[in-house]
Structure 1
Amino acid sequence: MKILYGVQATGNGHITRARVMAPALAKEGIEVDFLFSGRSPDKLFNMEPFGEYQVRRGLTFSVTDGKIDRWRSLTQNSLIQLVKDIRALDLQEYDLVISDFEPVTAWAAKLQKKPSIGIAHQYAFSYPLPGPGIGRVMMPMIRFFAPVQQGIGLHWHHFDGPILPPLIEAQPYPITVQPGMILVYLPFENREQIRQWLSPFSDYEFHVYCDIESPENEEHIFWRPLSREAFRQAQACCDGVIANCGFGLASEVIQAGKKLLTKPLAGQPEQLSNAAVLEHLGLAEVFSELEEEQFYRWAGRLSPDPVDYPDVAAALARWILNGCHQSAGMLASELWQDLAAEPAVV
């Protein structure tokens, strides 16, 4: 069996899911080629698990000062190039296309009538979720952006639908707590804004991962270059995490049993929905401007219990090898039964 696996590379969560799926698919003897779009090739890092992967321009969004910049997003994307890439992608040698919300592979599969499945958090919006009803807005866009024959959604709770638990790798480092050490990942905020938010809290130590070449230290703020390995080490020993509302990172924080203070990216419906669900499940506090009272209240909380998510990647790889015949509902039911500490809806 040979698969083309398309990954939307705008967010690191999509790439992380592919990192988890790659060895699971290989273990089942499935041959996989990877295609990434939505990010410049020079901005991709720690890509060794994907071998000789392909890159296309795809579609992405632009951010200015923590908000979606709709004009730049419109002008910097090229629908002409997207159509060219879709038409040029030859799928003859593949038995199946998997899309993690990646448009080039999804549309190529649709046009060439190749079997396709989607594995992504976004496909969970097909079902009712807590919060402001964003799914009604999201689903038409999702169907247009990355259409697939069957979408497998992932979330922190099943909400009585055929939604699977998060698809993340096991934490490779022992979970400890270094009091006062806060891990920060706010890639959509500008550095000066992050500095203003964190500067007043000199009794805490902030390790901020961002797009820089080498480490920089400013009193109690430690700026660190992007590194998957170093980030996971910091995640394992930190006292808490401040981050945007990306699904992948929030899942890792919940898995590790770390308290989460999160800021949804303004104008991004998925992150607004994630924030609402996190609050609904009691898994995080949400902020738009980091205020002293909220920070100290959050920082003073005890760490939550870790959540031991089941091996979703292995289950999906077996499901794919067996022709995707089992219903998504049955697959979801089996995986949630394996979860020892399913989050309670509050």
Structure 2
Amino acid sequence: MRVLYGVQATGNGHISRARAMGKYLQAEGIAVDFLFSGRPAEQLFDMQQFGDFQVKTGLTFVTEQGQINYLKTAARAKPLELWRDVCQLDCSAYDLVLTDFEPITAWAARRQKKRSVAFGHQYAFLHQVPQIHDTLLSRSIFKWFAPAQQQIGLHWHHFNQPILPPIVDLEPGINTADANKVLVYLPFEDQRQVIQCLQPLQQYQFYLYGPGLSKNQLGHIQCSGPCVDEFKRDLHQSGAVLSNAGFELVSEALQLQKRILVKALQGQMEQESNALALTQLQLGQSTEHLTTAVIADWLAGSNSFQRVAYANVAQALAKWIRAGACPTELQQLDLWKDQSL
């Protein structure tokens, strides 16, 4: 069986999901060709797992200081190049096209009437899940940005909807957490401002990852640029996670039972809805403004929150795909049975 797998590379969450899926698809004997879009090739890192992958421009949002800049987003969009890539992508050699909110593979499969399956957090918003600033535009984006014949939404709770738990890229191991160690990943914020917020809190050890940072020790703040292995190690060892409200890192933190504080990317409906769901489910805390006082209150506050234990969704989906990706069989997997929420 040969599969074309499109990955939205704007954020690292989609790529992290692809790492998990790729391992289990390979274990099932499925040949996978990857296509990434939404980020320049030179900004991708630790991509050896994906072999000889393709990179396309696709579509992405421009962010500045924690907010989406819609004018720059529109100015940098290349719709003609996007459509050319859709028309030139040949899906004839594949038995199935998978897309994680990646538009080129999704629309190429649609044009060529190739069987396609989409999975990702964005598809959960096609159902009745917690949403904020829900508009006709947002609903249209979730429906038509990267459509597929079968669309599988992922979320932290089922909300009595036909969706699945998160796909997390975590290796089995001992979760040895240090309560005073805090992983910080706020890629959409000004990193200098983040450091200023953390500097007074010298009783904690902060491990800050972000774009433009080089490996550097600033007293109790360890700065690092984007990487995979060290980030995963620090995630396992930290007692708490401070991040934007992207889905994948929060999912991994939940699975590892970390304390969580998120600041949603302003103007990004998905992240703002994630912050809402996280607090409604009592899985973590959220803030609209990042200050030293907010971080200090969170770290000093109660450690009580709901705990979850998600099933191995990546493995289940890989086996389901190898068996033919039958929609009725997917409904019978019952992947929520192990969740403690």
TM-score clears 0.5 = yes
Listed as ranges, the matches of 1:179-190 within 5 Å are: 179-190=179-190
Match for 1:170: what amino acid? Answer: L
Q: Is the 8 A contact 1:57 1:82 kept in 2?
A: yes
Q: Is the 8 A contact 1:241 1:253 kept in 2?
A: yes
Partner of 1:296: 296
Q: CA deviation at 1:221?
A: 1.9
Question: Aligned in 2, Cα 1:188/1:296: closer, same or farther, shift over 3 Å?
Answer: same
Asked whether 1:97 is paired with 2:97, we answer yes
Query: Any idea what SS the aligned residue of 1:179 has?
Result: strand
Q: Is the 8 A contact 1:121 1:155 kept in 2?
A: yes
Q: Could you tell me how far apart the structure 1 residues matched to 2:240 and 2:329 are?
A: 34
Asked whether 1:77 is paired with 2:77, we answer yes
Q: CA deviation at 1:218?
A: 1.8
Q: Could you tell me how far apart the structure 1 residues matched to 2:201 and 2:11 are?
A: 29
Asked whether 1:238 is paired with 2:256, we answer no
Question: Aligned in 2, Cα 1:173/1:210: closer, same or farther, shift over 3 Å?
Answer: farther
Q: Is the 8 A contact 1:99 1:119 kept in 2?
A: yes
Question: Is the deviation greater in 282-291 or in 55-64?
Answer: 282-291
Listed as ranges, the matches of 1:1-346 within 5 Å are: 1-132=1-132, 134=134, 137-212=137-212, 214-300=214-300, 301-302=302-303, 307-327=308-328, 330-331=331-332, 334-337=334-337, 339-341=338-340, 343=341
| RMSD across aligned positions (CA) | 1.8
Q: Is the 8 A contact 2:132 2:269 kept in 1?
A: no
Number of residue pairs matched?
A: 340
Q: Could you tell me how far apart the structure 2 residues matched to 1:192 and 1:45 are?
A: 23
Q: CA deviation at 1:98?
A: 0.5
Question: Is the deviation greater in 81-90 or in 139-148?
Answer: 139-148
Q: Is the 8 A contact 1:125 1:138 kept in 2?
A: no
Structure 2: runs of 5 or more not aligned: none
Q: Could you tell me how far apart the structure 2 residues matched to 1:279 and 1:14 are?
A: 23
Identity %: 42
Q: Is the 8 A contact 1:239 1:303 kept in 2?
A: no
Q: Could you tell me how far apart the structure 2 residues matched to 1:161 and 1:327 are?
A: 15
Q: Is the 8 A contact 2:36 2:54 kept in 1?
A: yes
Query: Any idea what SS the aligned residue of 2:97 has?
Result: strand
Q: CA deviation at 1:172?
A: 4.2
Match for 1:98: what amino acid? Answer: L
Question: Aligned in 2, Cα 1:171/1:259: closer, same or farther, shift over 3 Å?
Answer: farther
Question: Aligned in 2, Cα 1:161/1:62: closer, same or farther, shift over 3 Å?
Answer: same
Q: Could you tell me how far apart the structure 1 residues matched to 2:165 and 2:311 are?
A: 8
Q: Is the 8 A contact 1:6 1:99 kept in 2?
A: yes
Q: Could you tell me how far apart the structure 2 residues matched to 1:92 and 1:227 are?
A: 35
Match for 1:279: what amino acid? Answer: T
Q: CA deviation at 1:204?
A: 1.8
